[in-house]
């Protein structure tokens, strides 16, 4: 009954919001799970924000099968996010973090013929963060809630001029939590001060009245594929933090593995150096150590990053292809390790 009323309200909101959307803050704060993304009024289309919704970027992002990602945040009127340490921004209730995923027809001209596949929302409600995955229709006019996830075939021409086709997986709501969890609570992953600090982004957010507190990280993360932004070791650690550290940390879903790959983990056994497999099964791929210094080929951390086989491949979600450039970076780091 309650849900029906909310849905009716959302429908009225949608009609009145067209054609220039207006963010529906009441809907954001409600318990509703609106069936259409448009109900929120957050986006004009999959990659264009509505007024009051601001784009942001990360120094080193998660690899998701070479998809292009568009990130936005919406803060409730008059409220600010707060930066204290180098970690996650402290977002007020009413915040929405928005991420759209898409592929161009040809990666060599990414601005052309871009097809947005899905938009994921992470909404900070009074009860905590809620993850809602929305899947766009083929002509990009409407996105529908798919809490149980979905697979779809996607093709594009890759940077090497070759055609690629994958079975793209939109995660289900539980899989969202598979990564977005710390302890028992759902949490954002990306917008950490250390990964947002590119020298001006935090200042710009503060200037726009969206951020209070620090505008600089003590130890900012470099850009994983920009050598001028940091050493191989720092860029590899940034890559591991963004791609593995959200699960592989002391409070994350992979804590029991004893392999902790977040930015602040000291370079010891728990970082993988000389660490034997725990409960890895065939994920050990016949190797004794996560990281064998000097020998990436004998390090199962690398082998699991390179694999595309379920049960071996890491990360378990978001990837059906090998991120060759990421594997190369981590391999180089291990090769140069004393």
Partner 1 sequence: MQAAVIALMATAHVQAGTFRVEPGDGAQERLQAALIEAKPGDIVDIGAGRFDLTDGLSLDVNGVTVRGAGPAATILSFKGQKGAGEGLLVTSDDVVLRDFAVEDSRGDGIKSKGADRIVYRNVRVEWTGGPKETNGAYGLYPVESTDVLIDGAVVKGASDAGIYVGQSKNIIVRNSTAMYNVAGIEIENSYSADVHSNLAMHNTGGILVFDLPNLPQQGGHSIRVFSNRVEKNDTPNFAPKGNIVASVPTGTGVMVMANRDVHVFNNILGENGTTNVMIVAYQTAFNDKNYDPSARDIVVRDNQHGRAGWAPAFPGGAELAAALGGNFPSVLWDGVGGTAANVHLKDPVLTVSLNLPAQGAAISLAQPAAYAPPSTSPAKDLPTILMPAAMEAATK
- Residues forming contacts to partner 1 in the complex (CB under 8 A) are 1-3, 147-151, 167, 169, 172-175, 177-178, 184, 250, 253, 255-256, 258, 269-270, 274-289, 300, 309-311, 316-317, 320
Nearest distance from C-beta of residue 132 to partner 1, angstroms: 11
Nearest distance from C-beta of residue 281 to partner 1, angstroms: 2
Which CB sits closer to partner 1, 109 or 278?
278
Which CB sits closer to partner 1, 59 or 318?
318
Evaluate whether 157 touches 107 at the Cβ level (below 8 Å).
Answer: yes
Which CB sits closer to partner 1, 210 or 280?
280
Whose tokens are 């009127």? That residue is 77
Evaluate whether 197 touches 218 at the Cβ level (below 8 Å).
Answer: no
What burial letters (b/e) apply to 147-177, b meaning 16+ CB within 10 Å? eebeeeebebbeeeeeebebebbbbbbebbb
> Considering only CA atoms, which of 122, 138, 123, 141 is closest in space to residue 48?
141
Nearest distance from C-beta of residue 218 to partner 1, angstroms: 27
Cα–Cα distance measured from residue 170 to residue 150, given in angstroms and rounded to the nearest whole number: 5
Please, what is the angle between helix 324-335 and helix 232-243, to 10°?
A: 130
Which CB sits closer to partner 1, 64 or 215?
64
CA gyration radius, the chain: 20
Centroid of chain to Cα 332: 24
Nearest distance from C-beta of residue 126 to partner 1, angstroms: 19
Nearest distance from C-beta of residue 250 to partner 1, angstroms: 7
Exposed/middle/buried for residue 208 (C-beta within 10 Å: 0-12, 13-18, 19+): exposed
Nearest distance from C-beta of residue 301 to partner 1, angstroms: 12
Cα–Cα distance measured from residue 312 to residue 292, given in angstroms and rounded to the nearest whole number: 18
Q: Which tokens belong to 325?
A: 């450039």
Which CB sits closer to partner 1, 224 or 300?
300
Which CB sits closer to partner 1, 126 or 279?
279
Which CB sits closer to partner 1, 7 or 204?
7
């Amino acid at each position: 009954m309650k849900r029906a009323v909310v849905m009716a309200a959302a429908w009225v909101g949608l009609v009145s919001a067209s054609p220039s959307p207006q963010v529906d803050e009441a809907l954001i704060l409600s318990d509703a799970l609106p069936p259409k993304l448009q109900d929120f009024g957050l986006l004009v289309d999959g990659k264009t924000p509505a007024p009051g919704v601001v784009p942001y970027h990360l120094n080193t992002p998660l690899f998701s099968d070479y998809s292009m990602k568009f990130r936005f945040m919406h803060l409730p009127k008059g409220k600010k996010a707060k930066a204290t340490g180098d970690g996650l921004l402290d977002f007020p209730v009413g915040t929405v973090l928005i991420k759209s995923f898409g592929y161009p027809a040809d990666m060599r001209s990414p601005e052309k013929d871009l097809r947005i596949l899905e938009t994921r929302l992470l909404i900070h409600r009074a009860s905590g963060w809620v993850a809602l995955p929305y899947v766009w229709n083929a002509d990009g006019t409407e996105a529908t809630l798919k809490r149980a996830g979905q697979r779809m075939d996607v093709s594009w021409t890759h940077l090497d001029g070759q055609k690629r086709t994958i079975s793209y997986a939109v995660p289900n709501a539980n899989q969202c939590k598979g990564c977005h969890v710390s302890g028992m609570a759902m949490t954002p992953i990306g917008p950490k001060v250390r990964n947002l600090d590119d020298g001006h982004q935090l200042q710009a957010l503060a200037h726009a009245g969206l951020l209070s507190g620090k505008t600089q990280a003590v130890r900012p993360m470099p850009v994983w594929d920009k050598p001028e932004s940091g050493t191989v070791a720092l860029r590899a650690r940034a890559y591991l933090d963004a791609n593995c550290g959200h699960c592989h940390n002391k409070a994350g879903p992979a804590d029991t593995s004893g392999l902790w790959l977040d930015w602040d983990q000291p370079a010891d056994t728990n970082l993988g150096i000389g660490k034997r497999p725990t409960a890895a099964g065939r994920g050990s791929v016949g190797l004794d150590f996560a990281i064998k210094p000097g020998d990436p080929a004998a390090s199962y951390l690398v082998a699991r990053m390179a694999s595309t086989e379920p049960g071996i491949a890491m990360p378990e979600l978001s990837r059906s292809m090998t991120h060759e450039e990421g594997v190369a970076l981590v391999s180089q780091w291990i090769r140069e390790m004393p």
